[in-house]
Amino acid sequence: MVRRVAKPVSIVLTICMLLLSLPHKSAFAGMIGTETVLDATRGQEARDYLNRIFARADVRASLIAQGIDPLEAKARVASLSDAEIVSLADQIEELPAGGSALGIIVGALLIVFIVLLITDILGYTDIFPFVKKHSEVK
Amino acid sequence: MRRIIITLLVLILNLMFAGCGGVFFRQWPQHSEHLPVSHELDSVPFYPQEAYQCGPASLSMALTWSGIQTNPETITPEVFTPSRKGSLQSAMIGATRRHGRLAYPITGPDSIFEEVSAGHPVIVLQNLGLSWYPVWHYAVVVGYDLHKSTVILHSGVTPRKRLSFRVFYNTWARSDYWGLLVLSPSRLPAMATKHNYISAVLGLEKAHQWRAAIEGYKTALARWPGSLSARMGLGNSYYALGDLESAEAAFREATRRFPTDGMAFNNLAQVLWEQGKQQEALEAAGRAVDLDGPLVEEYRKTLKGIQAGKP
């Protein structure tokens, strides 16, 4: 008896679980939902954001002052994964004094952050846990 | 014998207080140089709470401040879980959205006074007990004073209660600094990040608060005009409302700004098609398929649908 009931029930349950685990679809046929867009664009937007920061004259000047080639630094940052880039962009955006508005004065904090980040990537410092060190011993 | 007892007592005390939140005092708040020395909001009403009802009371204060006429009695059934004698954070967020208000969570201790000095009250979750004997409590931060090192809260039955930084920080740390801004979607948090803000607006879409979502996406675009997500969200919200013309305009702008992104062309195609603009719809859908990308199967479906005929 239990077996006879168990089989159809388990089939129904399996289908329910499958439906639950399907990827998120937009509520309307033919349309790409905002959530999908948000997920898809996040990495790229963070990359663009960082590139704009590297294009700033004050950032470049302070990197050069530290003996770091801005081009090399940019290349190193480009090699980070999407998740790492996003985490990085978030940290810069959350800096006080409106760090996200590139137009207004961000001041010394951003510079310090960028310099530490670059030196982290180059392996001189170890401030940011998400930065993978290239010289890391496996 | 005495030594053994003392050792045991020390051990027990250690165990009791292990993991009881962050250890004050690591110079909090950080970076306070640019903040006004003290600030107190006088536009936040106070509703005294009844037993266990700190969640509804706190949310009512924040909602009323944001321009929604309400009171704890009407909010209680929306957030209160009787079996838990409390209100879950997710319920607080959900209720905020159902009232067409943006729920912007705060994570971390560093931005709270920026928000208050920008005029935004912050709902905070405190554990007034200890980690192993929790007494959870919601309150609304309405001010602070850096000189006197006090936080001013509407809390429980006390309006404008003053707590020292030390006590506030320790009780708040035990909730991992959980905080919530309840904002009209035309307002931006003082310390908003693009992704968090757009995610918060997306929450309004999920709650089917399309008009509030539209407002929120417009606010986002005023601040971050280069956000594809916000522009697509704007179009999707108009579409959900049935305002196909405005949806078309939003998606068109998205395709103009992001000519290499298939998602914008896909949605533009669908909206054109539903307005009977078959030829333009075909072009847009074809463009999406040509542009390729991870979602190209979706674009093909859209294109096939249009080729098949009726919407």
How high does pLDDT run on average in chain B? 89
- Residue-wise pLDDT tens digits, B211-247: 999 999 999 999 999 899 999 999 999 999 999 999 9
User: Is 80 exceeded by the pLDDT of residue B59?
Assistant: yes
Q: How many CB pairs under 8 A join A and B?
A: 79
Q: What is the average per-residue pLDDT within A50-66?
A: 79
* Residue among B215, B174, B168 at smallest CA distance from B67: B215
CB contact under 8 A, B205 and A34: yes
Least confident of A12-26, A65-79, B132-146, B194-208: A12-26
* Contact (Cβ atoms closer than 8 angstroms) between residue B66 and residue B184: yes
Q: What's the maximum distance between 2 C-alpha atoms anywhere in chain B?
A: 94
Q: What is the average per-residue pLDDT within B67-93?
A: 89
pLDDT given for residue B98 in this prediction: 95
Contacts of A35 in chain B (CB under 8 A): 202
ipTM: 0.79
Quickly state the pLDDT bin for B69 (edges 50, 70, 90). very high
pLDDT given for residue A26 in this prediction: 43
Contacts of B298 in chain A (CB under 8 A): 32
- Return the structure tokens found at B151: 């936080």
* Contact (Cβ atoms closer than 8 angstroms) between residue A50 and residue A118: no
CB contact under 8 A, B199 and A38: yes
SS3 B59: helix
pLDDT given for residue A69 in this prediction: 80
CA atoms within 13 A on the CB side of B283: 6
Residue of B nearest to A26 (CA): B236
pLDDT given for residue A134 in this prediction: 45
- Structural domain boundaries in chain A: 35-100, 101-138
- Cα separation of A63 and B52, whole Å? 55
Q: What is the pTM of this model?
A: 0.75
SS3 A95: coil
pLDDT given for residue A16 in this prediction: 53
| Alpha helices (H) along A22-104 | 34-54, 57-65, 70-78, 82-93
User: Is 70 exceeded by the pLDDT of residue B78?
Assistant: yes
pLDDT given for residue A60 in this prediction: 81
- Residue-wise pLDDT tens digits, A109-119: 666 677 777 66
Amino acid letter at B1? M
- Return the structure tokens found at B270: 């669908």
Q: What is the average per-residue pLDDT within A80-96?
A: 73
* Contact (Cβ atoms closer than 8 angstroms) between residue B227 and residue A38: no
Q: Hey, is the C-beta of B111 within 8 angstroms of any chain A C-beta? A: yes
